[in-house]
A and B are shown apart, each in its own frame.
Chain A
Amino acid sequence: MTEMQKLYLLVPLAPLAGALIAGLFGRLIGPAWSHRATIALMLVCVAASVTVFMDVLKGNVYNGTVYTWMTSGDTRFEVGFLIDQLTATMMVVVSFVSLMVHIYTIGYMHGDPGYQRFFSYISLFTFSMLMLVMSNNFLQLFFGWEAVGLVSYLLIGFWYTRPTAIYANLKAFLVNRVGDFGFLLGIGLVLTYFGTLDYAAVFAQAPQAAAQTIEIIPGSRWELLSPICILLFVGAMGKSAQFPLHVWLPDSMEGPTPISALIHAATMVTAGIFMVARMSPLFELSEAALSVILVIGGITTLFMALVAVVQNDIKRVVAYSTLSQLGYMTVALGASAYSAGIFHLMTHAFFKAVLFLGAGSVIIAMHHEQDMRKMGGLKKYMPVTYWTMFIAALASAGVPGFSGFFSKDAIIEAVHFATLPGAGFAYFCAVTTVFVTAFYTFRLLFMTFHGKPRMDHHTEEHLHESPWVVTLPLVILATASIGAGWLIEPMLFGGYFGNAIHILPQHEAIAKMAAEFHGIGGMMAHAFTTLPFWFSAGGIFAAWYLYMVRTNLPARIRQAAGPLYTILDRKYFIDELYSWLFAGGALAVGRGLWKYGDVIVIDGFFVNGSARVVAATAMLMRRFQSGYIYHYAFTMIVGVFVLMSVWLFV
């Protein structure tokens, strides 16, 4: 094993060790040593990730097996690593955000009875996520995929005495399982038609496979790769919370805030995006799948952003914002602009982490009040939180110069160049949403930090800035949310991803953009002439006007909008529909099958019925065995009489 290979192993194993220490011995070593141990190991993980990243930048790509998980038939199922530009980028983002969240947690979870357990979970999460991104095969990808789902389940339900939390975590797990169901079927088709689950081998065969067809529904032949890619994407829809499997993400806000930042904004929910980018050699060959992705991404982008506009819970606004931003990334994938999708994934990880962690900081200060209608004027009490969130809000709204601008603009441009069916719709959604995003982000900022304080007197007296363990990660991440955008040139146009991402010549939206790209300054200058910029500015202005200047207007608009408002407020009634149709339906089916199938038909009719037939026959037979000699004697006489009659007269 080379030094570098040891380092690859160290990256996921360090957080795993941390998770085991805090999880198994947390009670023994106490809270302080639990966070010291996990954070120290996270530092090791970050350092190793960065070293690997630097090494990959030099062009050292690695693909190898760690151990053979099992063999069956002619297939070897292995655990292994594929370290290339895509993986290395994800490793750095994941481990870095995770480290920040570890530090932040010291402040946020201070004094919680489950302190050690919490550190154990977030380290375990980091391990799982790293196994997911570092995998070189579908099986290990699925392992990481489900493992992050498990930790997400544990963390959403971290405060397990709250009914809402344990409802939300079950919901999250099951909705994700629906996605995983599709994902597993996709993996099954890959194994069936490619005979291996190893990425490199599968991708090498992809062009031949593209010529094959498959008949899943008898009578209609499809291109083989279309069902495969669509099924894999169903998995991504679950994990990356795309419509219609998005319902779990807003509820997941029941978990502690650091989790919302780490898992439900920066890393886990982007697993689907990462997966599709990783599978680009397959997805590129299925235009049907890309079209599906464009449409699903477009719907998620616009319609989830609209819901964010009417939310009053600070975390829920950010949650719906996350859904919408994930929609952007999905749209990028559909437009074959994988690198733009990953780029937005990275910038979003930073600015959304700030928004969540900042919201968390506000929530601590407000004594766990999350309703923005009871906030206001927090700016003077919490300057660091305010300014970091302000930066993140600018990034989120896509103001030129901030990271979100570069990544979002790249996506919008790419969709503009895309020609597949659905691209027009996706473009419309992506552009319109710029306005909505700017509006809800600044609505959040104005309602929380500006204007008159609306909290009660007692809370206001105790308002203060959070401790340094909370603000330090905010400052670092805010810096990243400015700086990350400036990497656009190397990441999108510099051939950064090398062979990690594969794009067909006819889908070269990024290449067309590269032709028009004239440096970062040019991109910013150009922005002032485009629709997205003015939409963004308009959104900020509208938020300012409605929530700073004419503060009585929103209520009147709400009244005027009537049913429209209700639809948004109730999130298009999708939750109600699902709980009636799926949860209620499954229980009704279960009760019906149990009662009529098992109890009445099988047990009642066949089992106990045959027992009854035996008993009835036996009862009948018993009559003849009365035990009285005169019965038997009488029967004998009758018998003899009958026999003699027959013998005599016939």
Chain B
Amino acid sequence: MLFGFPLLSLVIWLPILAGVGVLATGGDRNAQTARWIALAGAVAGFLVAIPLYTRFDPLTNAMQFVEYSPWIEHFNIHYHLGIDGIAMPLILLNCFTTPLVVIAGWQVISKRVSQYMGAFLIMSGIVNGVFSSLDAILFYIFWEASLIPMFLIVGVWGGPNRVYAAIKFFLYTLLGSLLMLVAFIYLYQVSGGSFSILDYHRLPLPLAPQILIFIAFLLAFAVKVPMWPVHTWLPDAHVEAPTGGSVVLAAILLKLGGYGFLRFSLPIVPDASHYLSDIMIALSLVAVVYIGFIALVQADMKKLIAYSSVSHMGFVTLGFFLFNAYGVEGAMVQMISHGFISGAMFLCVGVMYDRLHSRQIADYGGVANKMPVFAAFFMLFAMANSGLPGTSGFVGEFIVIMAAIKVNFWYGFFAGITLITGAAYTLWMYKRVVFGAVAHPSVEEMNDINGREILVLAILALAVLWMGLYPLPLMEVMHTTVDDLLAHVARSKL
């Protein structure tokens, strides 16, 4: 409780209410008011999330900050919230990202400012809802609701091909999630009328229905992550999305898929998870290796980073299905780290796009000459994206590779290829964009980043370095939950 309000509800509804408040400022005449309200709401959203960390008990495997009240009693649906060591870091990541996105869009967005800012705040609240719901229907509502703000962000503030991208994004993810609803209704039936996710965790199930449920969940989560081969919506969505949209998409929305695997697939259908783990591992490794090569040949910076995201998220799904502590914890760290790094990479591209209005690598060259401070930040994030030790990008990849070798040397071998491809596509892009003599007259006119941009990038830089040099505080909150999860998954439900 904070000021008499239950914490999780506060974390969900405060940003949403602030978002509604921002929307209420109306047209662009009040743009400045909208910005300040949005910033205040986003910062407040982050501040109220901090007690989730400070008051978190890392030693219990029970759900914490639980809220439980009836909602639709006829169907036994409850407003049931609670978090564990898996959900809590993701909520913090989300609340951390929102203020950055608001600041990053401060001057860049000049049309429909209140709607833009409002959409991000509302989305922030909705995503917190996804991470803290313990009722399947409540989860599903938040899950699908999160599509709407992003659909609008891409469709309204996006690039020239935004409508195609927005619809592709929406249909892809919507179709994926529909079968999840079917699975919930099936589980409702067999559990004797419960929508509680925790009940599902304890529900015994034969292998055949487990596999069907696994596939239903897989479609929903694999599209979100996204796993190969259902990843093709992501590059299009990123390319067309405004910078803030790309940041939230990469940093937050992809994590919904990863979270889904941990909250639903593994604990509800553990036998099917084991049964199909080879396929999952194979798909993950394809993502890591195949996508790594594809990223190498992209001419569009945002597409390159989008593909790089797919490749990095391959480590997340790989880690989950190795069924050891290194793997799951490494995957969690990878999700948080990817939130920082991909967000920062998209911001860096956004900074250049704001000046030159191009995402094509070929239109740049020699940016370091005109923007040395920016070049230094971009270098740091590029190195983090290549998984350099000392940055957060290393931690997750390292532990997942260790986990993979533990299971099978060749899993580690293929996952490790990212060491080479990741560095190749990131640094080759950096070389062509930032290094060299000034390549075009338009680059000559680029100005170095301003205080606002420095603020955003510096915050992310500190986050990346802090997590790279001292990941222990993050790891410690996860241990009990992950151990409990692994013990649970090891027990057959047949």
Contact = CB atoms under 8 A, between A and B. Distances in A.
B96 to A, nearest CB: 20
Contact of B293 (A143, A177, A180, A593): A593
B330 interface: yes
Contact of B369 (A161, A173, A177, A185): A161
B420 A73 contact: no
Q: Which A-B residue pairs are the 7 nearest by beta carbons?
A: A188-B405, A73-B325, A590-B297, A590-B293, A143-B389, A590-B296, A166-B435
Interface stretch (A64-72, A256-264, A485-493): A64-72
Contacts of B471: 69-70
B341 interface: no
Contacts of B417: 181
Nearest to A78: B472
11 contacts: A71-B472, A72-B326, A73-B324, A143-B390, A150-B388, A160-B435, A184-B401, A191-B402, A216-B410, A594-B294, A594-B298
Interface in B107-125: none
Interface residues of B, number: 60
A432 to B, nearest CB: 35
Interface stretch (A305-313, A368-376, A455-463, A595-603): A595-603
A626 B138 CA distance: 41
A436 B49 CA distance: 68
Q: Chain A CB within 10 Å — which of B298, B402, B436 has the most?
A: B402
B329 interface: yes
B353 interface: no
Given A586-B296, A587-B297, A142 B389 contact: yes
Contact of B232 (A75, A143, A603): A603
Nearest to A154: B379
Contact of B416 (A72, A170, A181, A589): A181
B326 A73 contact: yes
Contacts of B399: 72
A157 interface: yes
A469 B171 CA distance: 68
Given A69-B471, A188-B401, A591 B423 contact: no
A188 B402 contact: yes
Interface in B368-412: 368-369, 379, 383, 388-390, 394-395, 398-399, 401-402, 404-406, 409-410, 412
A177 B394 CA distance: 13
Given A143-B390, A607-B232, A185 B405 contact: yes
A73 B322 CA distance: 13
Contact of B294 (A150, A178, A598): A598
A306 B84 CA distance: 64
A600 to B, nearest CB: 11
Nearest to A128: B390
A261 B416 CA distance: 32
Given A166-B436, A178-B420, A597 B405 contact: no
Contacts of B296: 586-587, 590
Interface string A291-327: 0000000000000000000000000000000000000
A146 interface: yes
B71 interface: no
Given A180-B419, A590-B295, 8 more contacts: A153-B427, A163-B436, A166-B435, A177-B419, A185-B405, A188-B402, A586-B293, A594-B297
A608 to B, nearest CB: 9
Contacts of B421: 586
Contacts, number: 136
A427 to B, nearest CB: 35
B475 A71 contact: yes
B229 interface: yes
Nearest to B473: A70
B366 interface: yes
Given A70-B471, A161-B369, A191-B402, A170 B427 contact: yes
A150 B468 CA distance: 15
Interface in A577-617: 586-587, 589-591, 593-594, 597-598, 602-603, 606-607, 611
B103 to A, nearest CB: 22
Contacts of B233: 607
B178 interface: no
A180 B405 CA distance: 15
A189 to B, nearest CB: 6
A607 B233 CA distance: 9
Given A146-B388, A173-B427, A602-B229, A72 B325 contact: yes
Interface in A138-191: 139, 142-143, 146-147, 150, 153-154, 157, 160-161, 163, 166, 170, 173-174, 177-178, 180-181, 184-185, 187-189, 191
A325 B340 CA distance: 43
A143 B412 CA distance: 19
Contacts of A69: 469-472
Contacts of A191: 402, 405-406
Contacts of B294: 590, 593-594, 597-598
A170 B233 CA distance: 31
Contacts of B476: 71
A192 interface: yes
Contact of A68 (B325, B434, B472, B479): B472
A160 B406 contact: no
B68 interface: no
A598 B412 CA distance: 25
A71 B324 CA distance: 14
A589 B421 CA distance: 12
Nearest to B478: A72
Contacts of B324: 73
